Structures are given as C-alpha cells and as structure tokens.
Amino acid sequence: MADDWGAALALDQRSLGGFWSDTLWRGELGRPGALAFGHDDGGRLLSIACGWVVVDELHITVLATDPDWRRRGLGRAVLQALAAAAVPRGCTRATLEVASGNGPALALYASAGFRTAGRRRGYYTNGDDALIQWRSLQGAGDGLCPPAL
C-alpha cells in the first residue's frame, strides 16, 4: 500500500475534499505501525480505511468511499479488513473520531459496534462536535473480525 499514495490522495479529494495532502498521504502509508486497506475495481481506488496500531489500540484515521460507489458495502468491508488486521497485531480495541453531523459515518460506525465515549464540542469549523468512539476488538479470535463488523 505504501506505493499507492497517489490513488489514496485522489480518493481523498473525491470523497473527503482533501483531508490530507500528498505529503501526508505519503507519510501515512509508509509509517511504521500504519495499516491501510483499500478496495479497487482494477484501476481506481474506490474505498479506503487507514489506522495506526498504538500499543493495544487501533486508531482509525481515515474511512472513505468514492461518492459514486457508496451504499454497496465497501466502507464496511475496508473497515472490517482494517479491524481484522489489527487483532493479530495485539489490538484489543479500536477508536475513531467522527463529526456529530456526519449521518452516514455515524450509521456505519453504530452498525459496526462503535459507541460514543467522549465529545469535543464545536471541534469542527462548521460547529459540529467531534465524537470520540470506541469498540472492543476482543473475542475476534484468529485474526477474524468481530461478528458485529
């Protein structure tokens, strides 16, 4: 995945409006402890999930699906792959931050078992709060993803 920063950047621009620069994507995908999973159609990256292994926690940094490919299960699939890869690396729980107004992401994370444990009020420029969410990865067994994901 370390060579795919260009594809990740293009998807980021289509899906997230440029969350990270090319320099940040290059650094992210080459960073020790970073995990990234993507789904492509043979030429174009359609969905991506990235995270960092921090001791026994998976810190999910990016989840995005191409706007033309949403509601086809790709976001859930790459999130599942990320969580499954984190378990054999010693992660027992996963965390992420999501904007309080991001309905699609909140619905996906809720269906994947994430629960809000903290809130940064007015964190985003549009006034949305940042919700800090967690879920356990224990019970996954053999690197398999928890059933709820």
Which residues in the chain belong to E strands, given as ranges?
34-40, 45-54, 57-65, 93-99, 115-120, 130-136
Q: Is 124 a catalytic residue?
A: no
Q: Which is nearer to ligand COA, 75 or 140 (CB)?
A: 75
Q: How many residues bind ligand COA (CB under 6 A)?
A: 21
Contacts of 97 by beta carbon, 8 Å cutoff, 6+ apart: 120, 130, 131, 132, 133
* Side-chain half-sphere exposure of 53, counting CA atoms within 13 A: 20
Catalytic residue (choose from 28, 109, 123, 124): 109
DSSP-derived 3-state class of residue 30: helix
The strand pair at 45-54 and 115-120 is best described as unpaired
Terminal alpha carbon distance of the chain: 23
Interface residue with ligand COA, options 23, 111, 136, 138 (CB under 6 A) = 111
Min dist CB 100 to ligand COA, Å, is 11
51 binds ligand COA (CB under 6 A): no
| Chain residue whose CB lies nearest ligand COA | 75
75 binds ligand COA (CB under 6 A): yes
74 binds ligand COA (CB under 6 A): yes
Residues interacting with ligand COA, by CB under 6 A?
Answer: 15-16, 47, 63-65, 70-76, 98, 102-105, 107-108, 111
